[in-house]
Every structure is written in C-alpha cells, then in structure tokens.
Chain A
C-alpha cells in the first residue's frame, strides 16, 4: 500500500503540473476506492447476498464521481484528497440511501429474515447498510482536522507517516487527531458520551 500511495503522490504532483494522463490515472484510483468501499459496505449487508445486483447503481456512482472530480484540478495532494474523499463519501451515502432506504430495491428484501442487522458486536465494522450510511455521515460531521485524518487513514488506507506528509503536520498530531476522531465516532454512533 505504501508504494501505491507514493506512486499516487507522484501522479498528483504531475497532475498539478498539468499532466492529463496522470490525472486520468488518479481518477481511476478514486473510482477503485469507491468500488472497493462500496462492495465492502454491501457485502456486510445481510439482507442482500448478491451485491452484484447493485452494480448499476454503483456504475452511476462511479460515473458521477469521475465527472465531479474531472471538473476540478487540485492544486495540492492535500486538496485532492479532501475533494476526492468528500465526493467518495457522498456517493457511498447516496448508494446506501438509494439502494436500501425507503425507496431502495433492498428495502423489502429480507432474505435473512433481517435478524443479523440488529446485532452489532463490540469491535466489528457496521453490520448493516444503514449503520454504514450512519458511519459515513458521522465522519462528515467530524471537525475538519479530524475528518482530514480519517479521510487519509481510512478512506485512502494511507499509513500514518504518509498522512503526516500529505497534511504537512507531525506524526504525533496525526496520531492525536486519529484517536480523537475515533472516540468521537464511537460516541456518535453508539450514543455514549466519552469526552
């Protein structure tokens, strides 16, 4: 992963200097992140086993992501990641709402009897599509500095030193923000006040 991020870093540098093919490669990377996170979100949904049923929706999301990112040119890697993850998260929330919300095709599709969605083990990732949507929304609600760190460490799967470099802050600051972001997320997701 580290090598990949470094490569992306170089591409962003090239793109900021006006290299179109580098920009295209970056867009592809963002689309792949969306595809990967979307498939993860949908696979953990116990109501629908066959997440391939959502392929059309995902395709639309990918096209929208590609289009919205293509309209801008980042001036720095930091700005790119900010934009890309914001769009990415919006598409994930939209995907969850459209597919599994009241109007979604999955709404009345309880192939498992719906039992699994209510069980949430203590350190397991969201077990339902609704919980995933809530998670993404709560990330959106974090402070700018905390969200930026979550963007890089979780959505982009960077290492902490890589994130520190992109943000131009110390590793210790990255650690602190990452920690407080997770505590805040736990608080908002589980409704308990820790701070």
Chain B
C-alpha cells in the first residue's frame, strides 16, 4: 500500500469516528506510521475547513433555516410572517398551482403529531369564504406542516379600534362562518383575536381550526389562550367542549372589541382560571357607555357560565348581533333608508364574485336567493362523482372560466396518473378534449368571464366538440370502460394539475351521442333516458353535491390531501 492510500484509509477512519461523535487524534491514528502524521494532520485540517459541505444543508443557514427551502418537494418557503405558541407561520409558494400559500410548522411540544395531521385533514374538507382553507397537510423530515390559503391582511389583534356597530358586524360575520363549521361537526376550541384574520377588504376569516384539538389535554391550560377559554374547559374535571364553548370564546372577543379590555384578566393563571369559572365580568356598558344595551345583552348571554344558558348556535348569536344593530340604528335606517338600499345593492353587486356560490356553499348567503347559484372552482378542490368513466358518452356543462392558463383546465376529467382519460377542458384558450391516447385541442377559444355551453361527444367512430351548440372540432374516437370515475373541475381524481378555475352552472353526463350536429343548448339541463347525472349550484349541501337527474349519482367536494 502506498503512503497516499494509507493516508486515505486513516482519514476514512478519522471521519467515521467523527460521524460517531468521537475525536481520534493524529498520534493514535499514526501510532505505527509517525512519518504520515504531518500530511494526515494537514488533510484533517482541509476536511475540517470543508466541514460545512457535510452538514445537512438546512441546518447551515441563519437566521431562519426554513426560508428558501422546499417542503415535501413542493412548497417553497419564502418568509417568516408569524410566530406563536404553536409554531411558526411562513408565507410560501406552491409552484404546482402557482399560488401563494401560508405554511404552518407547528412545533408545540404538547401537540400530538398524528392527531394534528388527522385533524388538519378533516379541516381540509371545510370550505367556507369566512374560514381559511387548508389545502394540504403532511410531514417533512418527521415535522408536521399545514398548508393553507394565504390571506393578505392582519389579524384581529392588530386591527381596530372598532365602533360598537363595527364590532357587532364583525363578530356576526365570524359567528356565521363558525356556524357553518359547527354544522359540519367542527369545534374550534381556540377562538381568539390571533386566530381571526382580517383581509384587505376588512372581511374576517377564522383560521387554525383543529390545532387545539391536537393539544395534549392534560397540559392544555396555557396563559396564551386561557383568557378566551370557557369555564367548562377549566377546573379539575373539564367537560367536553362543544359549539357553545366557541360561543363563549367569541363572546370574550366581542367583549374585548367593545371595551378594549378582557372580561377576566388576572395575570396569575390559577386566579384567572378561578375568575373565568366563578366571577361575573364587569358589564361592558360600565366601561364604554356608547355600547347599545341590546348589544351588551348579547355579550352577557355569550358569557353565561352554564353552556345551556348561552346561545345554542352561532347562527343565533349572529342573528342577535344583527338585530341589536338594527334596533339601535332604527331611526337612522328610516331616515336614510332609500340611500342605504341603493348602496347595499351596489356593495352586494361588487362583492358578488367573492361571496356567491362558495365552493362548499355551506351557509346560505342572504344574497344567494336572488341570483343563480353556481359551483365555484378556486383550485384545491373538485367534485368526485361515483360514475365510472365510459364511452360512448356526452359530457357537457355551462361554464364561466376565470382566465386562460398556460396548460389545460379540465371541466370534466377521468384520467389516472401517468395516462390519459376522457374529459373536456380548455387548453390555453381553446376548447379541448382528452381521450385515452392523448389530447386534442380545437382552434376555438372559450371566452373568459362569460357563460358558454361546452360539450364533448365521444362517439364510436369519432369525438366532436361543441361550443354554444356549434360544432367546432372533430377528432379521433376512444374506447374506455371503468378504471376510474369522472371528476368535475379537475383532469382526474388524483391528478392535481390542470384544475379548472371559474364557475360551472350545471354539468350533465349522458350515455351515447346526445348531439351529432349543431344544436341550441338548453339553459337548464333536464334529465331523460340517457342522462347519467346532472349537478348544479342550487343542489349543494355542505360538501355534498346532489344529482338532480334522479339517478342517485351524488358527488362530493374533495380536496387534495396528499402532497406529491
């Protein structure tokens, strides 16, 4: 063995010892070859200098090693935007869907990771305009993460001050969102100003659903959230939290907004806990005389020690808040009634895009009765049907795409990962269809922000595309039976790419060839012998989309829960 090889061997021994946490000195390594001690020592110095190359790359960076890294091979972490008791929140970016996201990395030692992930997966199914949408959950290097909608704005902690009327409006909106969540079986358990985001339009959004559920119960009393906790969550034998627990917490937030003070605020956790369970708070009007008595009564009812004495539902609380405002402003309402009606109409119109036809449509917006309700696709969720793909068939829909995309956006799809399926969509700006061997893109654009009827007829001999009843393209035929189900708003059940963004008013899937030449599309799809399913925006309840064709092929809004 040459001396170079010998040195190399010794260096490997030295390095392996280092990896085990041992520090071998040159003398003992070179006990039988003292002449190699000097060159060995020099090489050790060289390796030490390059030590940074062997350290995990994430750990090498200050001040925040997470920034600039990619989570789960997908989400880019851009900036730390918040840090709290349960962990850190970053602004990030999802390159696959090309949208900013908020990434939570909970690092609270009291959090049970599997409970947290399970809870977050459940929360990901919760869709409401007043609740921050969870897009994805997972683990990266054994650490849990939660990816949700990125809301530009502030938290309720930094917002304000609010007049009593503004506070009542705000809490009423939150209560309505909360009610929608309660109706789907969720209890927040940690409502506080830090968990209410206010977007740039001043709308409140509830966030962090489910995190508190994953807290180790035996240690869940913390100073941070204790002031907002209900009596039943405290004491020697805390009872199960239910929706009325959230109503208490929301009452505390309302009290704080109205008076600028917490109803119970002893700095000692033990005394604070005692106050919450046994003391009556100072009446809000004793602190701020501008609070209308009806509004004060609402606060006091929220803060009843016995859950059964509080509002039974958050909807009732919202109603009481809105009524208290109306009573207070009756005089002014009468005086400027016509003016307000005009303005309200204008506001309702301007906000329409955001509010009506929400994805899950979980709460009925007061506006939604006077306009057609639609299925709204904002990415991250699609409607899974129970219908296995088949051909010959006719796929059709009334659509209003939001924008053109570089790739494709599928209105109805059925592919399986790595293969094609059969479906109809828009590629770039043109109407397109997918069939088992590939993709056919017509030369006819589908107008964005305008309603169009689109149809694809997969016949035995050929496939035809129709736009607003006009035959615009003929391409090859396909044969398919089973393999996967049709999905509305995405190219396939598990394929996250090529999501449709925009509105769909109604969808119909039929057997065989419904159209062979140009036709006049029906405004409202009606079932007949060939119809397999019809969905529309009117017949949606929570996450269930009812098949109105009478065939029982009800669909379900499904979010993508697993990262790629």
Chain A interface residues (CB < 8 Å from chain B): 1, 4, 7, 14, 19, 21-22, 25, 28-29, 31-32, 35-36, 39-40, 43-44, 51-52, 122-125, 154, 157, 175-176, 179-180, 182-183, 185-187, 190, 192, 194-195
Given A123-B52, A194-B39, A179 contacting B47 (CB threshold 8 A): yes
| B76 at the binding interface (Cβ < 8 Å) | yes
- From A124, A175, A194, B46 is in contact (CB under 8 Å) with A194
The interface centre, meaning the residue of B12, B53, B564 with most chain A CB atoms within 10 A of its CB, is B53
Do residues B47 and A183 form an inter-chain contact, with CB atoms below 8 A?
A: yes
Residue interface bits B24-60, CB-to-A below 8 A is 1, else 0: 0000000000000001001101111111111001001
Residues of A within 8 A of B21 (CB): none
Closest chain B residue to A184, Cβ basis? B46
Do residues A123 and B57 form an inter-chain contact, with CB atoms below 8 A?
A: no
Provide the bound-state CA to CA distance between A158 and B528, in Å. 59
Do residues B12 and A179 form an inter-chain contact, with CB atoms below 8 A?
A: yes
A12 to chain B, nearest CB (A): 14
17 residue pairs of the A-B complex, CB under 8 angstroms, read A28-B95, A35-B68, A36-B69, A39-B67, A40-B60, A43-B61, A43-B67, A43-B68, A44-B61, A175-B15, A179-B11, A183-B43, A183-B47, A186-B47, A192-B42, A194-B43, A195-B43
Interface SS majority for chain A: helix
Do residues B8 and A36 form an inter-chain contact, with CB atoms below 8 A?
A: no
Provide the bound-state CA to CA distance between A35 and B39, in Å. 39
Residue interface bits B48-89, CB-to-A below 8 A is 1, else 0: 111111100100110000011110010010100000000000
Provide the bound-state CA to CA distance between A160 and B490, in Å. 40
Range class of the B interface residue count = 20 to 34
Residues of B within 8 A of A180 (CB): 8
Do residues A185 and B50 form an inter-chain contact, with CB atoms below 8 A?
A: yes
Chain B interface residues (CB < 8 Å from chain A): 4, 8, 11-12, 15, 39, 42-43, 45-54, 57, 60-61, 67-70, 73, 76, 78, 95-96, 141, 417-418, 564
B183 to chain A, nearest CB (A): 39
Residues of A within 8 A of B564 (CB): 25
Do residues B49 and A122 form an inter-chain contact, with CB atoms below 8 A?
A: yes
Given A35-B70, A35-B76, A44-B61, A176 contacting B47 (CB threshold 8 A): no
Ranked nearest first, the 7 interchain pairs of A and B with the lowest CB-CB distance are A39-B68, A123-B51, A186-B46, A125-B52, A182-B50, A183-B46, A194-B42
Provide the bound-state CA to CA distance between A52 and B91, in Å. 13
Residues of A within 8 A of B42 (CB): 192, 194
Do residues A154 and B69 form an inter-chain contact, with CB atoms below 8 A?
A: no
Residues of B within 8 A of A192 (CB): 42, 46
Closest chain B residue to A41, Cβ basis? B68
Residues of A within 8 A of B76 (CB): 32, 35
Closest chain B residue to A7, Cβ basis? B73
Given A32-B73, A179-B15, A182-B53, A122 contacting B418 (CB threshold 8 A): no
Residues of B within 8 A of A28 (CB): 95-96
Provide the bound-state CA to CA distance between A27 and B153, in Å. 34
B44 to chain A, nearest CB (A): 9
Do residues B68 and A40 form an inter-chain contact, with CB atoms below 8 A?
A: yes
Closest chain B residue to A44, Cβ basis? B61
- From A1, A21, A157, A176, B8 is in contact (CB under 8 Å) with A176
Provide the bound-state CA to CA distance between A85 and B4, in Å. 30
Provide the bound-state CA to CA distance between A10 and B212, in Å. 39
B293 to chain A, nearest CB (A): 52
Provide the bound-state CA to CA distance between A125 and B43, in Å. 18
- From A1, A31, A182, B47 is in contact (CB under 8 Å) with A182
Beyond contacts A14-B418, A28-B95, A29-B73: 15 other A-B pairs, Cβ-Cβ < 8 A, are A7-B73, A32-B70, A35-B68, A35-B76, A36-B70, A43-B61, A43-B68, A123-B48, A125-B52, A179-B11, A179-B47, A180-B8, A185-B53, A186-B50, A195-B43
A73 to chain B, nearest CB (A): 17
The interface centre, meaning the residue of B47, B50, B564 with most chain A CB atoms within 10 A of its CB, is B50
Provide the bound-state CA to CA distance between A43 and B65, in Å. 10
A71 to chain B, nearest CB (A): 19
A138 to chain B, nearest CB (A): 11
Given A179-B8, A179-B47, A186-B49, A19 contacting B60 (CB threshold 8 A): no
Do residues B418 and A22 form an inter-chain contact, with CB atoms below 8 A?
A: yes
Closest chain B residue to A38, Cβ basis? B68
B491 to chain A, nearest CB (A): 11
A143 to chain B, nearest CB (A): 15
Provide the bound-state CA to CA distance between A116 and B12, in Å. 34
Provide the bound-state CA to CA distance between A157 and B59, in Å. 13
B374 to chain A, nearest CB (A): 31
Residues of B within 8 A of A186 (CB): 46-47, 49-50
Provide the bound-state CA to CA distance between A31 and B418, in Å. 21
Residues of A within 8 A of B67 (CB): 39, 43
Closest chain A residue to B76, Cβ basis? A35
Residues of B within 8 A of A32 (CB): 70, 73, 76, 95
Residues of B within 8 A of A44 (CB): 61
Residues of B within 8 A of A4 (CB): 73
Provide the bound-state CA to CA distance between A125 and B196, in Å. 41
Provide the bound-state CA to CA distance between A22 and B129, in Å. 36
Closest chain B residue to A175, Cβ basis? B12
Do residues B53 and A154 form an inter-chain contact, with CB atoms below 8 A?
A: yes
Residues of A within 8 A of B60 (CB): 40, 125
Provide the bound-state CA to CA distance between A35 and B92, in Å. 13
Residues of B within 8 A of A19 (CB): 418
Given A4-B73, A21-B418, A180-B8, A187 contacting B52 (CB threshold 8 A): no
Provide the bound-state CA to CA distance between A28 and B53, in Å. 24
A188 to chain B, nearest CB (A): 11
Residues of A within 8 A of B45 (CB): 194
